[in-house]
Amino acid sequence: MAEIILRGRPIVSGRARGVALVSSKPLSFLGGVDPKTGIIVERGHDLHGKSVRDVILCFPHGHGSTVGSFVLFSLAKNGLAPKAIVNLVADPVVVVGAVIANIPMIDGVDITKIRCGDILEVDGETGLVKVCREG
């Protein structure tokens, strides 16, 4: 089992461990994620049809309306939210959503070093992401 340590900036404190769901595209929670199912519905998105529930969601940055913060909160309230969020650049909409939903969040991370299916340990206190993968 190979381990890689990535350093970023802590945004929302907390710790989480889970499977990585990685996108190379920005994500909008408003209109991009169904708040009733947690499924990514944004047309043309590389994660279209995937669920954000109980994964470590890694994407470059958010985009879209400020209502996206409330969508992220609604996902958490309904048990459909990601365990943690890892971004290259923190978008204010995603930050506010992570804060009010109490989802650990880190930015400043080179997400190209993370693959879908990797096991990640996210530490929102220190800004460290431990990547564990076979081989």
Q: What is the CATH number of the domain that holds 40?
A: 3.50.30.10
**Residues 19-50 pLDDT 10s:** 999 999 999 999 999 999 999 999 999 999 99
Give the per-residue pLDDT at 64. 85
pLDDT of 65 > 90? The answer is: no
**Residues 87-125 pLDDT 10s:** 999 999 999 999 999 999 999 999 999 999 999 999 999
Distance CA 62, CA 15 (A): 21
Compute how many other C-beta atoms are within 10 angstroms of the C-beta atom of residue 44.
6
pLDDT of 134 > 90? The answer is: no
**Residue 12: strand pairing partners:** 105
Which domain range does residue 97 map to?
Answer: 2-133
- The predicted model gives 68-95 an average pLDDT of 97
pTM over 0.85: yes
> What separation in angstroms does the CA of 14 have from each of 79, 103, 104, 123?
17, 7, 5, 6
Quote the number of domains for the chain. 1
Give the per-residue pLDDT at 114. 97
Tokens 């900036």, residue? 9
Give the per-residue pLDDT at 135. 64
Catalytic residue status for 69: no
Write down the catalytic residue from 23, 28, 51, 65. 65
